[in-house]
């Protein structure tokens, strides 16, 4: 029995997950302690227990069954996303929650999983190659469909996760450097347009040079340049049609101190909390920013400032170390898996986790725009926690079946 678990049970992924969930529960307990909001802690603990059960069950699903059902899961969740747009509940300006009698969740959290699995399942077929235009187009559509539905909610943060997670998947699947640049360069141009005309022109020049160097032919080069120029020039139009709160998030990202008591308040207070923690922190339940509730609902998107303030640089480093270990383990599982479906799905999971971690911690430190992305395993939210634990269960499944073709 021991030899079986040693060979097939993924202790590393399991322990990384347990460590992060425990830190998350401790942080939520602290963040809600001084405002007598213990109900959030109790709910999160309950979801953690449910998540562990689902995670273990997921790790034992036969790999072939999982691969065979991936497309079906994808279309089921797509249908639910459409239902959300029709009868979903609007929370904080986004129509993303679906539930009955107070019980429900955000289907978009699970859409990330099913989309990665569907993408991996499609590209693992022997008659499919990412180098063929037809198959590349279908692969992009697998991601584009849920992105469109989620952006319509509107949920910009989750849409960004889909986009960023797609890039390592395309690379791992064998897409050319030109394809990857054709996706990245328009984003570079759009970001430059937000900063100003000079920055936009610099971005266009750099992007054009890169596209020319890695060009495949003149026709695709012209298309890529045209898309880049169109997206860059349309940024201002899109910005003007955004919701006011979305415009404020972008302006806050570009200059958080411009409105320290308004749209930039959370970012400024979060930076103060993390910076005041020092090396060892102020101690559990002794964080002034945390306990005096300077950051509204900090147990959600800004949860990282809790361990940063109460346990300092040391505590934040432990959190980052566990995240890094989980990411590297996902990459290792992708590398050693002989099954192409498992390998691609592992990279997709790594991409989802990585985007959430970089974006969330980045916005807590004023390095990224505030787009409402939770920190995996730490932020309050049942849907996100269960979805994250399912992804760990998938990694455990892929590790156990790493020798299967």
* Cα 224 to Cα 206: distance, rounded to the nearest angstrom: 13
Tell me the domain boundaries of the chain.
Answer: 2-98+105-400
Q: What's the token pair of residue 290?
A: 């945390």
Q: For 239-261, what is the mean pLDDT?
A: 65
CA dihedral defined by 365, 367, 373, 378, rounded to 10 degrees? -30
* DSSP-assigned letter for residue 128: -
Angle of the 156-173 helix axis to the 107-123 helix axis, nearest 10: 20
pLDDT tens-digit series, residues 167-221: 999 999 999 899 999 888 988 888 888 778 888 889 899 999 999 999 888 888 8
Confidence (pLDDT) at 348: 97
Q: For 245-265, what is the mean pLDDT?
A: 62
Q: For 354-373, what is the mean pLDDT?
A: 88
Position 292 pLDDT exceeds 80: no
Position 2 pLDDT exceeds 70: no
Confidence (pLDDT) at 378: 95
* Cα 247 to Cα 194: distance, rounded to the nearest angstrom: 11
Asked if omega into 120 is within 30° of 0 (cis), the reply is no
> Smallest Cα–Cα separation from 105: which of 393, 395, 392, 390?
390
Q: For 350-367, what is the mean pLDDT?
A: 92
Return the half-sphere exposure (C-beta side, CA atoms, 13 A cut-off) of residue 47: 26
Residues 6+ apart with CB under 8 A from 142: 74, 115, 118, 119, 122
Return the half-sphere exposure (C-beta side, CA atoms, 13 A cut-off) of residue 175: 22
* DSSP-assigned letter for residue 368: S
Confidence (pLDDT) at 53: 96
Position 270 pLDDT exceeds 90: no
Q: For 330-340, what is the mean pLDDT?
A: 96
pLDDT tens-digit series, residues 96-151: 878 765 567 889 999 999 999 999 999 999 899 998 989 999 999 999 999 999 98
List, in sequence order, every beta strand (DSSP E) within 29-178.
89-91, 94-100, 103-105
């Amino acid at each position: 029995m021991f030899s079986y678990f040693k060979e097939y049970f993924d202790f590393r992924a399991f322990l990384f997950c347990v460590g992060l969930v425990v830190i998350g529960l401790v942080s939520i307990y602290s963040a809600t302690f001084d405002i007598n909001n213990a109900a959030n802690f109790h709910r999160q603990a309950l979801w953690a227990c449910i998540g562990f059960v689902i995670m273990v069950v997921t790790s034992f699903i036969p790999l072939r069954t999982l691969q065979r059902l991936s497309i079906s899961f994808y279309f089921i969740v797509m249908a639910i996303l459409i239902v959300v747009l029709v009868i979903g509940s609007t929370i904080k300006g986004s129509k993303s929650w679906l539930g009955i009698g107070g019980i429900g969740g955000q289907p978009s959290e699970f859409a990330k999983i099913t989309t990665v699995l569907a993408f991996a399942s499609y590209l693992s077929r022997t008659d499919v190659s990412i180098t063929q235009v037809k198959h590349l187009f279908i692969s992009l559509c697998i991601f584009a469909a849920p992105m469109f539905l989620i952006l319509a909610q509107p949920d910009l943060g989750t849409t960004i996760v889909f986009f960023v997670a797609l890039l390592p998947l395309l690379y791992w699947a064998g897409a050319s450097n030109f394809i990857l640049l054709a996706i990245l360069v328009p984003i570079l141009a759009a970001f430059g347009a937000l900063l100003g005309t000079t920055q936009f022109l610099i971005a266009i020049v750099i992007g054009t040079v890169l596209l020319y160097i890695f060009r495949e032919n003149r026709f695709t080069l012209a298309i890529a340049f045209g898309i880049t120029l169109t997206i860059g020039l349309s940024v201002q139009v899109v910005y003007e049609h955004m919701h006011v709160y979305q415009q404020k998030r972008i302006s806050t990202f570009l200059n958080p101190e411009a409105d320290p008591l308004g749209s930039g308040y959370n970012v400024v207070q979060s930076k103060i909390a993390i910076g005041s923690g020092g090396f060892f922190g102020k101690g559990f339940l002794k964080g002034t920013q945390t306990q005096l509730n300077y950051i509204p609902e900090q147990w959600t998107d800004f949860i990282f400032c809790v361990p940063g303030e109460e346990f300092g640089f040391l505590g934040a480093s432990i959190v980052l170390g566990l995240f890094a270990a989980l990411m590297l383990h996902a990459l290792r599982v992708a590398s050693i898996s002989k099954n192409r479906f498992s390998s691609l799905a592992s990279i997709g999971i790594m991409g989802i986790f990585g985007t959430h971690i970089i974006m969330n911690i980045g916005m807590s430190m004023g390095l990224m725009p505030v787009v409402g992305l939770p920190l995996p395993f730490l932020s309050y939210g049942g849907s996100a926690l269960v979805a994250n634990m399912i992804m760990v269960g998938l990694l455990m499944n892929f590790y156990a079946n790493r020798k299967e073709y």
